[in-house]
Structure 1
């Protein structure tokens, strides 16, 4: 199995054709990876080395291209991107692969999707790793409408909003469908009530870069949950924390402790 260039397959859910890979050790415990906004399974999990890290550790590594991203279909309606809708895509992928339970690991928007999956489908989940999103899960992460505007701007040089410029550059770099991403950023920002977070009893690891100005405190989010711990990823911002070796080591240790 080549852990550098996985082969993608497709399945159909909710009228959409969605792309995924299923790699690593076929007999290992399944880990389902859910990427962040404007990213893809390759950009979020393969290029930063997660597929190799988890595969070498003996896990079956499954990752989805979220709707609107990567090689998956790209609806243009805002409501197609509600986090509970995308959570159902992830569960449908497990159904397609006949996987009963898996460790869920999401980054940024993927962490929100994974949390909504835990609220509705906790019996399908062995554990939860939330990367790049702390107390912003419940309290919000600022005004993202300028990012949608930046994605749709005709002239990227005219974008004045700093975060908007960053995500527009990222979307252009990944050759994303910017119209679909604008719908996604408007549709996927639903917050999780603090009481709902407190109801999630799954073993949870929350990792956030110490220079991340988007996610909010991982300690504050972990304090709401009965079985969660926080991880500071040193000197990493929102874009760079995902592939950090401290994060990878902590996740592997977390999984080993679960047995």
Structure 2
């Protein structure tokens, strides 16, 4: 975990990365936030990047929730604190909010993975329940295609060459991921009354945009906004239109610094 303070230090953003990747893929975004006065707390989730433990494997999705909790405890309570989660990190942020109900200035979700498109084939899906009992740490190829993640060819090549990007996940990871998505819907009523911005890529090839909107509609907060980005792929902060996405996000953050 790293806590990178801004010289202006107007507020803190806790940033949660997605599946298969790591904190290093967000350095440009982090530096941009810092220039605009936001300190950033982020790190590698369990089983990802340079974190300890078997890569692509977790005991439960709660491992992610507790990791975010530990990051949250490092934030300055005297300043506004925001939570930003992308993809699986967005799902982890949702489960953190539903379970821990922290006091935050706002939450931003980027293409949250409440429901993925590329689920296991039906026979393997059925088998995964059995393997989760008898061989939970068994890892299988994830079949990640970077060209489905972003239209930014520079980022596609960086993804291909990145030695910290994992390409296998365990049966337990898969089952816990699926369970967390279901619980996000079941416990949507537990999401605290915190300003919420959900941004979803319209041409997302990894998660189902319609299901993201369904979850959003279930959340009962005093202030929430849903932004669909036409033409954009999954990683909206890496897309050619990333400056528009950043400015939209910054505007939300600036409105809720108190």
TM score, norm. by length of structure 1: 0.72
Does residue 252 (structure 1) correspond to residue 250 (structure 2)? The answer is yes
Does residue 199 (structure 1) correspond to residue 187 (structure 2)? The answer is no
Q: After superposition, give the CA deviation of every residue in 1:151-204 in whole Å (9 maximum; x if it has no partner).
A: 4xxxxxxxxxxxx15169987632137476446445433223434223312211
| Match in the other structure for 1:173 | 161
**2:16 and 2:86 in contact (8 A); partners too:** yes
Does residue 120 (structure 1) correspond to residue 130 (structure 2)? The answer is no
Say what the alpha-carbon RMSD is for the aligned residues. Answer: 3.0
Gaps of 5+ in 1: 1-18, 152-163
1:30 to 12, 23, 33: 12
Q: CA deviation at 1:72?
A: 1.4
Q: CA deviation at 1:21?
A: 4.2
| Match in the other structure for 1:216 | 208
| Match in the other structure for 1:154 | none
**1:35 and 1:41 in contact (8 A); partners too:** yes
SS in 2 for 1:242: coil
Deviates more, 1:19-28 or 1:119-128: 19-28
**2:106 and 2:195 in contact (8 A); partners too:** yes
| Match in the other structure for 2:69 | 91
CA distance in 2, matches of 1:104, 1:250: 15
Does residue 237 (structure 1) correspond to residue 228 (structure 2)? The answer is no
| Match in the other structure for 1:157 | none
Does residue 107 (structure 1) correspond to residue 86 (structure 2)? The answer is yes
* Larger relative contact order (Cα-Cα within 8 Å, sequence gap ≥ 6): 2
Q: CA deviation at 1:229?
A: 1.4
Distance 1:124 1:173, change over 3 A: farther
**1:68 and 1:181 in contact (8 A); partners too:** no
Q: CA deviation at 1:93?
A: 2.4
SS in 2 for 1:119: helix
1:52 to 12, 31, 42: 31
SS in 2 for 1:60: strand
**2:48 and 2:56 in contact (8 A); partners too:** no
Q: After superposition, give the CA deviation of every residue in 1:77-109 in whole Å (9 maximum; x if it has no partner).
A: 8442x33221111111233x3544721100001
CA distance in 1, matches of 2:76, 2:52: 23
1:64 to 19, 32, 43: 43
TM score, norm. by length of structure 2: 0.72
CA distance in 1, matches of 2:176, 2:159: 17
**How many pairs are equivalent?**
219
CA distance in 2, matches of 1:141, 1:98: 34
Q: After superposition, give the CA deviation of every residue in 1:116-152 in whole Å (9 maximum; x if it has no partner).
A: 110122224332111112xx51x55441478x6324x
SS in 2 for 1:253: helix
Distance 1:179 1:102, change over 3 A: same
